[in-house]
Structure 1
Amino acid sequence: MKVSPNEIRKTLRTLSNSRAFPATFCPSEVARDLADDWRPLMPAIRREAAKLIAAGELECLQGGAPVEIEKAVGPIRLRAAKATSPSG
């Protein structure tokens, strides 16, 4: 199944908006919402998340601390940026 970048960004926004700041979500939650065969989507999800981070919509965390998504190795968590979160 081909998933468009727009679908990925929409799902990233939906998940981030469904969590009250500072709650986080795993990028794999986005992938699982989009496809049964979700693992191949992970690089595209990170790419689209990076765009939303650059736009100030999301934050990336690793071990509970903010990190640059491009430099993160291993599991990450995402959340709405404080200014865009429902309670922020």
Structure 2
Amino acid sequence: MSIDMEAVILEIVGKLPPGKSASSEEVARAADSERWQRLTGHVRATARGLARQGRLTVLRHNKPADPDTFKGVYRLRLPTDDERAAALAKAAETPVVEAPGETEV
């Protein structure tokens, strides 16, 4: 069984009222109610990717957290316009690393 975790996360947070958040457990249970514990790492990894793209906000202590460095318990919600812009700006600053042997032409 293959789970589209990105779709599950966006569906769950998309149904929430503005400013409300969902726990990673809620998302994992929505994806698979019987084996949800095995999915928590997948939820975290997918949430990090969505947050880097500006499509999701990861919260720690009800404040936006850096998707690359947050640890511990977290919640997820849709980003505000400011949070989305900040995530996109940060992504634009990240240098592109070339694979060994590849050169620009």
Fold equivalence (TM over 0.5): yes
The residue that corresponds to 1:16 in the other structure is 13
Q: Which portions of structure 1, spanning 4 or more consecutive aligned residues, are displaced by more than 4 angstroms?
A: none
Give the TM-score normalised by the residue count of structure 2.
0.69
Q: Which amino acid aligns with 1:62?
A: R
Structure 2 residues not aligned, in runs of 5+: 82-105
The residue that corresponds to 1:39 in the other structure is 37
CA RMSD of aligned residues (A): 1.3
Structure 1 residues not aligned, in runs of 5+: 84-88
C-alpha contact 2:58 2:65 (8 A) present in aligned 1: yes
Give aligned-pair identity as a percent.
21
Tell which has more relative contact order, 1 or 2 (C-alpha 8 A, sep 6+).
Answer: 1
Q: SS at the partner of 1:61?
A: strand
Aligned length: 80
Alpha-carbon distance between aligned partners in 2 of 1:28 and 1:3, rounded to the nearest angstrom: 18
Give the TM-score normalised by the residue count of structure 1.
0.82
Query: What do the CA deviations read for 1:18-70 (whole angstroms, capped 9, x no partner)?
Result: 11221011011111011111111111111111111111110011111111233
